[in-house]
């Protein structure tokens, strides 16, 4: 590409993005930020630029971040043993203190700093601030292989978003600032709970009547039996693919969670490949996107 061609290409790209910018104007977009995109410095900078571009384009982004690897690393350093049940970290009181320190402390401030270094304004909060998320203890059961009876799995201080009070988010958005949220919640009896970041982001998206929820992951999206990307999935297709074995393992609860968010009123949930630079803008401002979109209607 010659230097003289560059302005024409830039103009064409901006022109093609215009319909999407109009679609999302003044709309809430919740982005769950985690995985490789979060620990790779170059991808982290590009993510921050995407968020700033969204805000300056008239969108209302809300960032919910995870931090599993960073929590695991800190627990290892402190010689605190980690144990998982159904993909969730069993969280005793000592572990909860570390989780809160890492999520609401170092990670949250780092994401805020990245966004501000890219020219935006951001403020870091957790679900405890302003009673944003009042959680209840997450209850899980499993079948005992020997007796065949159901038994309760005690996950400790792992919470399920019981109630979202979004007033603080509306206040932040009106101040032309991006909220960056750590998925830590309080309870009615003033306990602190660790909430799965995907679940937390979904609850925020429903409460804020978001146009989109983007879940940044370390996979390309949902794949068919030939390992080809499925760019669109309807709720009915999720059931079909579960029955025929196309989707299995950890993807099943993730898609069930996505379906619940769509049923809650969010127009589309996108499992987005966070390993792709500028994946957020590619998903929102181009016809093809990056990942799999789950919505009410059949593709």
Where exactly are the structural domains of the chain?
A: 23-295
pLDDT of residue 161: 93
Measured CA to CA, the distance from residue 136 to residue 45 in angstroms comes to 35
Phi (first) and psi of residue 65, to 5 degrees:
-110, 150
> Rounded to the nearest 10 degrees, what angle do helices 68-77 and 93-100 cross at?
120
Phi (first) and psi of residue 40, to 5 degrees:
-90, 115
pLDDT of residue 144: 73
pLDDT of residue 30: 98
What count of Cα atoms within 13 Å lies in the side-chain half-sphere of residue 288?
4
pLDDT of residue 63: 98
Fold of 23-295: Carbamate kinase (3.40.1160)
> Helical H runs in the chain?
6-23, 36-39, 41-56, 68-77, 93-100, 108-117, 167-174, 197-207, 235-243, 251-263, 279-285
> Helical H runs in 88-177?
93-100, 108-117, 167-174
pLDDT of residue 7: 66
Enter the tokens of residue 136: 């209840």
pTM of the model: 0.91
% pLDDT > 90, the chain: 62
Q: Which long-range contacts (CB under 8 A, 24 or more apart) does 13-20 make?
A: 16/286, 16/287, 17/285, 17/286, 20/284, 20/285, 20/286
Which stretches of the chain score pLDDT less than 70? 1-10, 13-14, 297-299
Q: Is 246 exposed, middle or buried, given 0-12, 13-18 or 19+ CB atoms closer than 10 A?
A: middle
Phi (first) and psi of residue 22, to 5 degrees:
-70, -35
Measured CA to CA, the distance from residue 261 to residue 73 in angstroms comes to 31
Q: Which long-range contacts (CB under 8 A, 24 or more apart) does 223-226 make?
A: none
């Amino acid at each position: 590409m010659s230097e003289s061609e560059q302005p024409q290409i830039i103009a064409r790209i901006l022109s093609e993005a215009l319909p999407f910018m109009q679609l999302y104007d003044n709309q809430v977009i919740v982005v769950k930020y985690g995985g490789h995109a979060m620990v790779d410095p170059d991808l982290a900078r590009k993510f921050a630029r995407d968020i700033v571009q969204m805000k300056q384009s008239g969108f209302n982004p809300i960032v919910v971040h995870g931090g599993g690897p960073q929590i695991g690393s800190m627990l290892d350093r402190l010689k605190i043993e980690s144990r998982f049940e159904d993909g969730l970290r069993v969280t005793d009181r000592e572990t909860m203190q570390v989780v809160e320190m890492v999520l609401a402390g170092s990670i949250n401030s780092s994401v805020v700093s990245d966004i501000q270094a890219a020219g935006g304004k951001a403020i870091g909060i957790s679900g405890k601030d302003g009673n944003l998320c009042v959680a209840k203890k997450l209850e899980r059961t499993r079948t005992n292989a020997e007796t065949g009876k159901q038994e309760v799995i005690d996950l400790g201080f792992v919470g399920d978003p019981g109630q979202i009070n979004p007033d603080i988010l509306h206040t932040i958005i009106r101040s032309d600032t991006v909220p960056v949220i750590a998925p830590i919640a309080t309870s009615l009896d003033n306990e602190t709970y660790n909430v799965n970041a995907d679940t937390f982001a979904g609850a925020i998206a429903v409460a804020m009547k978001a146009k989109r929820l983007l879940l940044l992951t370390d996979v390309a999206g949902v794949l068919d039996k030939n390992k080809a990307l499925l760019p669109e999935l309807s709720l009915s297709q999720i059931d079909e693919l579960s029955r025929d074995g196309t989707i299995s393992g950890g993807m099943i609860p993730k898609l069930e969670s996505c379906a619940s968010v769509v049923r809650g009123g969010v127009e589309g949930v996108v499992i987005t490949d966070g390993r792709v630079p500028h994946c957020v803008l590619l998903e929102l401002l181009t016809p093809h996107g990056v990942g799999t979109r789950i919505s009410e209607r059949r593709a």
